[in-house]
Structure 1
Amino acid sequence: MTIQVSPDVVDAFGGTEALQARVDAFRAALVAHRSTIGQPAPVEHAVVDFLARSSDDWQPGEPPPPPASPPEPLPATPSAFTSTPAETPFPLRTMTAAAFFLLLPDLGLATRDEAIAAARTGAVPEPIDALFEGLTQEGAFAARVRFARMTQLHRLDQLTQLIAAAKGWSDADVDALFERASMMEGR
């Protein structure tokens, strides 16, 4: 089976060769780590980690077709909503599922009704489910189950990384999103 990776995700990593180089380097780091004792495991971006650990080949997929109707207007990137990093002593590393579900419509990742359904039942909104389609069948299954049972969203979680890659966000944008969640939660 060949994993189809969104062209936007491939481009976010600097192209096919750059992404493959990171995958190969991480695979080598994982192999080298097997012979260590008491050393922390190597860490890489969730997409690179997934591709490196998969036994399947990958290739850039076809770009998704344009939406049938124009999407709701999206706000500026999350950094437009928050304070500057200098005002924050350290970045928030988690947000509650409730804060995440409240942010989904503003991020263009769910309608309000889909966000309510996600909070009530764990139903995966269509735009997020589309991100899972780029994973292997097993990976997509695991991602949907984790989404349905989510109580917190972690900064380094695979879902966070998939959304950031799909939206073209920088690390600063993701930090700003978590800061916005922090302000919503009164932290």
Structure 2
Amino acid sequence: MPRRWFLTDARLGDRVWTVLAGLPQDVGVIVRVKDPKRDRRLALHLIRACRKHGLTVLLAGPVALALELKADGAHLPEAQARRGSNRRPRKQFYLTAAAHSRPALIRAARLGVNGAFLSPVFPTRSHPNARTLGPLRFGLLKQGVPVPVLALGGVDEVSAKRLAPLRPYGWGAIDAWLTNTFTKIIRSN
């Protein structure tokens, strides 16, 4: 499973296509649309663009829809990360979940996810008023959790280095993939 992830966001508009075209193949993409059923066509176009660029792609939403749209897996919101219809349908299907607390991480682990995105670690434009975890709390919450935990929320190449001693599995971001600094880092990899 990739260790770095790009999460699409409606705020990006057409810039999303530029980001997708410039991502290295070791970066995964989580396609997020406001309503996966209503915005099915956009989700399908984003998934196809990821395929064209050789990227691992998950659909944020139910497992059944991710299968239908031929994504490599599904990313579940915290409330959907429970047993039942959102189980992994086959071994090769990636399943990740959002988590904002230790109980949510434990529920995700019980579901058997490949990874849980714990957030928000740092201040972020997508959730400007959210209380952040910070590195220390992030490390404490993920301690002993039997699934890979990825950092999300205000993470970029610089802040990811601050988390390195805590050994997160990886990280995900939206805005970090837009910066000139990161574009240079991508090209050098």
Bin of the TM-score, shorter chain as denominator length: under 0.3
Larger % of strand: which? Answer: 2
Normalising by structure 1, what TM-score?
A: 0.24
In our comparison, the structure showing a higher alpha carbon Rg is 1
Normalising by structure 2, what TM-score?
A: 0.24
